[in-house]
Amino acid sequence: MNLETYIRQMPKAELHVHLEGTLEPEHIFALAARNNIELPYKTPGEVVQAYDFHDLPSFLTIYYAAMGVLQTEQDFYELAYHYFQRAHADNIVYVEPFFDPQGHTSRGVPFKVIITGIHRAQVDAKANLGIESNLIMCFLRDLSAESAMEHLELSRPFRDWIIGVGLDSDEKDNPPVKFARVFEQARKIGYKLTMHCDVNQLDIVDHLWQCLNEIKVDRIDHGINSLEDERLCEEIARRGLGLTVCPVSNRFVVQSLTSAEIKLMLAKGMKATINSDDPGYFRAYLTDNFLALIDEAEFTLEEIITLNTNAFEVSWLDDKSKTAHIERARDFKPVAPRAV
Ligand code: ADE
Ligand code: ZN
């Protein structure tokens, strides 16, 4: 059986995708026109030409500038619904997407506008596409802990629409412990906890240990550098903590899809998963990430199945739903693609 066919058709889960990172150049243009915003580019093609990412800050500068086109509830609805449609084409059946409220409230967009638009898209994606989703609110780690706490409070009326909180943006000099009180409070509210430990960041092994010992996260976003510390690997495996690895995103920083590292994580019993991160910018959705991996290195069918079922296992679904999804993914048999 052809591994590519299997990957394309297998029912998938995605646990690390920034909704604002799914903005496609054409959509940036359409929203800018609708909201009377002037862009420094003449065509969507020119936008892609400007995507010269080589590290986290060079990506974030463009990412925050472009999200300025998102202004109304309908804009947020369309952003999320477009992603769900694209996810459906990849046979994604479950997703826990991130959103960055501070990237919008800082521009005067009310929290309620952002979350209501996204939530409406989630309801429609369930009804029309059969995609189930649970939303994760991320705090921007280069802003203050006070700002994060304010947004935690803003989220309270929408508690039932949010499953957990995360931490993203520029990691340099912004360690997990800076947000220890915020995450402690989030836990009390009942939110699940995750944090970015981005690839090759300064003090990254310290950040990973802080996630485990100080914050007591339920999951880790990226986490590739845990392989530098054997004890850290053992502890991550012992706790069954999921790692949401993003191969194409990593390639912009380390010039590799980290396929060797992913295989090593699996061999050590660590629950690695495959994700797209910011697919509108990195030009690769979830299936593309899997296909790029098998192009770079030899992966067995069993390894692909493990990466895929790990995502359901370390998701924040209830146990009954997890079991049903894992059984469905394990029992899945691809059909032969039609000849053209
Ligand atoms: N925000 C959006 N994408 C991000 C990434 N890849 N790393 C950190 N923060 C982000
Ligand atoms: Zn990310």
- Distance in angstroms (rounded) separating the CA atoms of residues 183 and 101: 16
Domain membership of residue 336 (yes or no) is no
Instruction: Please count the structural domains in the chain.
Output: 1
CB of 196 shorter than 6 A to ligand 1: yes
pLDDT at 337: 79
Contact call for residues 16 and 198 (beta carbons, < 8 A): no
Q: pLDDT value at position 339?
A: 72
Asked whether the CA dihedral 115, 244, 63, 189 is positive or negative, the reply is positive
Structure tokens at 94: 């479950």
Atom of ligand 1 nearest to the CA of 138: 1
* Nearest protein Cα to ligand 1, atom 1: 169
Q: Where are the alpha helices (DSSP H) in the chain?
A: 3-9, 25-34, 44-49, 56-66, 73-89, 102-105, 111-129, 145-155, 180-189, 204-210, 230-239, 247-254, 259-267, 279-282, 286-296, 301-313, 319-331
pLDDT at position 54? 85
Residue 273 lies in a domain: yes
Q: Which residues contact 199 (CB under 8 A, 6 or more apart)?
A: 222, 224, 225, 250, 253, 254, 258
pLDDT of residue 173: 97
Range(s) of the domain holding residue 228 = 3-328
Instruction: Please work out whether the CB of residue 78 comes within 6 Å of at least one atom of ligand 1.
Output: no
Q: Determine, yes or no, domain membership for 333.
A: no
Q: Is residue 266 part of a domain?
A: yes
340, part of any domain:
no
In eight-state DSSP terms, residue 304 is H
Q: State how far the Cα of 232 lies from the Cα of 132, in Å rounded to an integer.
A: 33
Residue 12 to residue 134: CA distance in whole angstroms:
15
In a domain, 245, yes or no: yes
- pLDDT at residue number 40: 87
Q: How far apart are CA 67 and CA 280, in angstroms?
A: 12
CB of 222 shorter than 6 A to ligand 1: no
Q: Which atom of ligand 1 is nearest to the CA of 198?
A: 7
Q: Which residues of the chain have pLDDT under 50?
A: none
Give the predicted TM-score (pTM) of the model. 0.98
Q: Is residue 337 part of a domain?
A: no
- Give residue-wise pLDDT tens across range 249-290: 999 989 999 999 999 999 999 999 999 999 999 999 999 999
In a domain, 18, yes or no: yes
Instruction: Give the domain CATH number at 97.
Output: 3.20.20.140
Query: pLDDT value at position 340?
Result: 65
CA distance 282 to 16: 14
Going 152 to 155 to 161 to 166, the CA torsion angle's sign is: negative
Note the pLDDT of residue 1: 66
Is 16's C-beta closer than 6 angstroms to any atom of ligand 1? no
Q: Distances in Å between the alpha carbon of 163 and those of 95, 155, 238?
A: 12, 11, 24
Q: List, for residues 13-36, the tens digit of each pLDDT value.
A: 999 999 999 999 999 999 999 999
